[in-house]
Amino acid sequence: MNRPGESTHFGFRDVTLGEKQGLVNDVFHSVASRYDLMNDLMSGGLHRTWKTIMVNTLNPPRNERAFALLDVAGGTGDIAFRAAQASGTGFRATVCDINGDMLGVGRERAAKRRLDDRVSFVEGNAEALAFPDRSFDGYTIAFGIRNVPRIDLALKEAYRVLKPGGRFLCLEFSAVDVPGLDRLYDLFSFRVIPELGRVVTGDAESYRYLVESIRKFPKPAAFADMVRAGGFSRVNWQTLSGGIVALHSGWRL
């Protein structure tokens, strides 16, 4: 485990843990208002399919049975809205994000969708969640865990706040496993994505970081070991779109 003052990675740079959190915050302050548009451009719209698969895997009840979801690092509300629309009247979601700008976007969208009675937004840190033990039936995090300075702490917190029988789902970029596609993906990632960021948000550097952080994230088997070390059982994963992303699953039993 890293300790305060020890180094971690911000993209390909070595920084202290405290510096990484500040730099990550700056990235998402910069891109909040255009975040989902950039997701569409970067993935060719595939992020919508990946998120739908995640919600279908969560499989929240479609009746009046109570189901409490915690969606972490989901400030704009995308996963929570999809889950709410796929659920019955007993569903409630709490979106927890460290970035106030992203949460502001999410609250506005919840009001427009008339989902603000079912989806709430809380500013908080994935490494130290301000929720009681065994509070939630599901925990989701989509494209956020690689930005957490101490992933091991976030996984232990996920385990702590889940009820027995609760499910952890993590959607994250992964390692392309199709020969030839890997080289095209690298070319698109390092040449095209930062330029898209410059044109759409005026910030190429933030998107250069996002690309670099994907390459530094552990491969699926290594991350699955981290999920098990966090306490979870029946841990597995599936790769999607040739390995561009992986959906990881674990249960608190």
Alpha carbon 96 to its chain's center: 11
pLDDT at 4: 43
- Alpha helical stretches, state H, 34-77: 35-43, 46-58
pLDDT at 165: 98
pLDDT at 211: 81
pLDDT at 2: 43
Classify strands 233-240 and 245-251 as parallel, antiparallel or unpaired: antiparallel
pLDDT at 190: 82
Digit-by-digit pLDDT tens for the chain (253 residues) are: 444 445 454 444 454 555 555 555 555 555 566 667 777 877 788 999 999 999 999 999 999 999 999 999 998 899 999 999 999 999 999 999 998 888 998 999 999 999 999 999 999 999 999 999 999 999 999 999 988 989 999 999 999 999 999 999 999 988 888 888 888 878 878 888 888 878 877 778 777 877 888 888 899 999 999 999 999 999 999 999 999 899 999 999 9
CA distance 253 to 179: 38
**Full set of structural domains in the chain with CATH:** 7-251 (3.40.50.150)
Q: Could you tell me which of 223, 215, 219, 218 has the C-alpha nearest to residue 189?
A: 215
